[in-house]
Amino acid sequence: MSKQPTAPETRGVTVQLLASMDLGAEIEGMAGRQLRMRKVTIAPGGVFGPVHDHRDRPGLVYILQGTITDHRDGVATDYGPGLGWPEDRHTVHWLENRGTLPAVEISIDIVRQPADPAAKADAAGPAR
């Protein structure tokens, strides 16, 4: 049983795909993977949930503005501008903005490329 509390569903989150790259053309053995960079904005009171993991989807996050609270392993940690965290195969968490200003992060991760073109439009969306 997970130590993580039940987190609310995503609300107050906007995601903008900034760039992506087909890694199969760049690195042997990475066919079907994509390096993706997104700008994620969490409104005051917003949640990026529910609890999710990063197995098979490593990434890095850097905070540009506001404060994001990262909930993992029963601990809530606040990150402000200039700070960030890794998201590795052991990461199980959810995020929220407890502040009064929008929180903005840059999220860079490696993801599986969507199988069909229609799914590519969804790839930029909230799925962590």
Give dist(CA 67, CA 95) in Å, integer. 10
> For the chain, which residues make up each domain, given as ranges?
11-116
For 82-123, the pLDDT digits (tens) are: 999 999 999 999 999 999 999 999 999 999 987 765 555 555
pTM: 0.83
Cα angle, residue 54 at apex, residues 52 and 57 outer, rounded to 5°: 135
Q: How many Cβ atoms are within 10 Å of 38's Cβ, its own excluded? A: 21
> How confident is the model at residue 73, as a pLDDT?
87
Max Cα distance, the chain (Å): 45
- Section 17-28 average pLDDT: 96
How far, rounded to the nearest angstrom, does the alpha carbon of residue 5 sit from its chain's CA centroid? 18
In angstroms, rounded to a whole number, what is the distance separating the alpha carbons of residues 41 and 48?
A: 10
Q: Answer whether CATH 2.60.120.10 is correct for domain 11-116.
A: yes
